[in-house]
Amino acid sequence: MTAQRLASRTPTLAGVKRAAEKIAAILPPTPLLPLEIEGRTIWCKAESLQPIGAFKIRGAWHRLSDLSETEQASGVVAFSSGNHAQGIAWSARRLSIGATIVMPADAPVAKMEATRRLGADIVTYDRMTESREAIAARLAEERGATLVPSFDDPWIVEGQGSAALEAAAQLQGMTGKAPSQLVICCGGGGLASGCALALPDARITIVEPEGWNDFGESLRAGQIVPVAANPPPTRCDALQTLRIAPLTFDILRERGAIGVSVSEAEVAHAMRVAMTSLGLVLEAGGAVALAAMLCGKVTPDDATVITLSGRNVDPETYASMIAA
Amino acid sequence: MTAQRLASRTPTLAGVKRAAEKIAAILPPTPLLPLEIEGRTIWCKAESLQPIGAFKIRGAWHRLSDLSETEQASGVVAFSSGNHAQGIAWSARRLSIGATIVMPADAPVAKMEATRRLGADIVTYDRMTESREAIAARLAEERGATLVPSFDDPWIVEGQGSAALEAAAQLQGMTGKAPSQLVICCGGGGLASGCALALPDARITIVEPEGWNDFGESLRAGQIVPVAANPPPTRCDALQTLRIAPLTFDILRERGAIGVSVSEAEVAHAMRVAMTSLGLVLEAGGAVALAAMLCGKVTPDDATVITLSGRNVDPETYASMIAA
């Protein structure tokens, strides 16, 4: 079964629920932590505490565990700046599937080493001159392996959405309320679209780094627009998606999601607040939703849930951002 | 009722169980996170994720919620380098009890500000020349308030012990095993003695900073010995107890607990590992148990549980320790 055939179905709420059950069988829920912002409590879904340090373990597990025995024997290929890579590598090791990951040569050392430690083969490319999609597709073709995209895949979307179902159950248990608003860190929109499917009644806001806010611009334009030429440098390596996909875009457009963007300084401030107020290490890309709340670009309501989506950052980079 | 009368009873396993029930009613369990060390999995009780960033919320809640209405109306006084202070302040605010905290003038800014934000009055003293015990006793006397020591109190010991009961239930759920070994960060021994009461069949190792390892020395000597004159500087501000108390010492001596000590460099390494492998911010004092495991001073077995006991550290100090 090729990636094209797998991707031909539409992700569904039923699929999110099935993913959540599969994931609950192997991973304890990540904590939903309260944080007070100017007298209002918001709820932070600490996906940074997943074994691989990011929510990406969810979609990867849902996808790889649904492959047939024949497909599993032929291995998988993925491209990723690091967190999807680790999700695939972790799931592949647990299922004894061979995994090859195409990663940008400038990915954080922490992410590359962690992926290698999990037993995956790594192939690097130049983020600005080479196409990771093309390299990965060629490798998959050569090896008869299954290509597992990082967001443009119904299994991946459903798997990531399980984070929202889990958070909703936790919030219900602690406050008796359903999430009214989800504020979600966004690169290609796998997490955001999955969470939107999971909770049909919640308002959805996606958050991107300034200059990389193509998803927000696409939602405003009503059609997919790529990142503008020469985007600014960003510490949010996990969110440097140059072009999104109809699969995730259509879900979020139909839900009336809106997008906001945050500056590097706002992200660094959020990383400091996560450190001092929650005791959590966040990578820049995992802190953008918190940044949007802290700088007032999103207004908290009675039952706001945000994602703290990842923690994989080199110690030196982290030290420089929190001490600033 | 004075502190002396309150302290006259002996802490018990039944008391730990009652404390655990009271605490479970207001606080979700902190995660018990697996960490692989040279092929062995150890289990890390992330008390750093408590709302105040340390396990001290447990004993404080157990103690303050057991005060009579009359006692609550007269307020409480405590002395603490910061984490007990926050536990008392948090519990006092929730119970509408007035709280005065005696803190060393050189306590981390993060701890002092957090305590003030929780609504407590703060009185500072010089750690090397003044007696916090004397200052706190005088304040309590003047105000008719209840003195709440940071470890030399049966309620405090029982409350802290609830962390071990909670961890044991989590480990049982995830692996079907009971903890065989507990490795515990230790200042005055409130947490360690409470955990020893909680789990009568586990081996107990306490961990202290080098030069401040009076508890370990006392266990070796069979009697309480104070910290030697002119102890070295340490980043482990939470563990700078100059003299321990019979209450905690007797429990740990009777259990055959042993003590090990770790260097500042070993602590810094543990803080980096907690950051990169678990996504957790730890203060130095909260990382000593992990440090002892990582440097091989304690050998992991099949069901080793360690405490990650606190996270309250100033960002600049933290940045300098993890980037080194």
pLDDT at A32: 97
Q: pLDDT per position in chain A (324 positions), as tens?
A: 344 444 579 999 999 999 999 999 999 999 999 999 988 999 999 999 999 999 999 999 999 999 999 999 999 999 887 899 999 999 999 999 999 999 989 888 888 888 999 999 999 998 888 888 889 999 999 999 999 999 999 999 999 999 999 999 999 999 999 999 999 999 999 999 999 999 999 999 999 999 999 999 999 999 999 999 899 999 999 999 888 999 999 999 999 999 999 999 999 999 999 999 999 999 999 999 999 999 999 999 999 999 999 999 999 999 999 986
In CATH terms, the fold of domain A2-54+155-322 is Rossmann fold (3.40.50)
Tell me what pLDDT residue A226 has.
Answer: 94
Do residue A323 and residue B311 have CB atoms under 8 angstroms apart?
no
- The predicted model scores a pTM of 0.93
Say yes or no to pLDDT of B4 above 80. no
Distance CA B205, CA B289 (A): 9
Region class of A122: left (phi > 0), else alpha (psi between -120 and 50), else beta: beta
pLDDT at A6: 47
Residues B186-201, mean pLDDT to the nearest whole number: 98
**Angle in degrees, 0-180, between the axes of helices B315-322 and B264-273, rounded to the nearest 10:** 90
Report the complex ipTM. 0.92
Architecture of domain B58-148: 3-Layer(aba) Sandwich (3.40)
Of the candidates B240, B209, B242, B215, which has an alpha carbon nearest to the alpha carbon of residue B228?
B242
B319 touches chain A (CB under 8 A): yes
pLDDT score recorded for residue B119? 93
Q: What is the pLDDT of residue A4?
A: 45
Nearest by CB to residue B319, choosing from A53, A280, A323, is: A323
Q: Does residue B1 carry a pLDDT above 50?
A: no
pLDDT score at A5: 46
Average pLDDT, chain B: 94
Assess whether pLDDT exceeds 90 at residue B75: yes
Each domain of chain A, given as residue ranges in start order, spans 2-54+155-322, 58-148
Q: What is residue B109's predicted lDDT score, i.e. its pLDDT?
A: 85
Residues 53-92 on B with a CB inside 8 Å of A are 53
pLDDT, tens digit (0-9, with 9 covering 90-100), for B107-139? 888 888 889 999 999 999 988 888 888 899 999
Cβ-based contacts of A322 with chain B (< 8 Å): 315, 318-319
d(CA A317, CA A319): 6
Distance CA B57, CA B64 (A): 10
- C-alpha dist (Å) from residue B278 to A46, A50, B39, B110, B268: 12, 8, 16, 22, 15
Query: Are B279 and A281 in contact (CB < 8 Å)?
Result: yes
Dmax over CA atoms of chain A, in Å, equals 57
Mark A167-187 as b/e (b = at least 16 C-beta within 10 Å).
Answer: bbebbeeeeeeebbbbbbbbb
Per-residue model confidence (pLDDT) at position A2: 43
For residue A67, the SS3 value is: coil
Contact state of A279 with B319 under an 8 Å Cβ cutoff: no
Which percentage of chain B shows pLDDT scores above 70? 98
Question: Of A276, A188, A176, which Cα lies nearest the Cα of A236?
Answer: A188
Among B316, B306, B63, which residue's Cα sits nearest to residue B181? B306
Tell me the C-alpha distance between B43 and B23, whole Å.
21
The reply to whether A318 touches chain B by the CB within 8 Å rule is: yes
Number of residues assigned to chain B = 324
| A319: closest CA of chain B, how far (Å) | 4
Using the beta-carbon criterion (under 8 Å), do B280 and A276 form an inter-chain contact? no
CB contact under 8 A, A315 and B280: no
Cα separation, B199 vs A277, in Å, equals 31
pLDDT digits (tens, 9 = 90+) for B17-72: 999 999 999 999 999 999 999 889 999 999 999 999 999 999 999 999 999 999 99
**B286 touching A, CB under 8 A?**
no
Residue B313 Cα to chain centre, angstroms: 15
Q: Identical fold at A2-54+155-322 and A58-148? A: yes
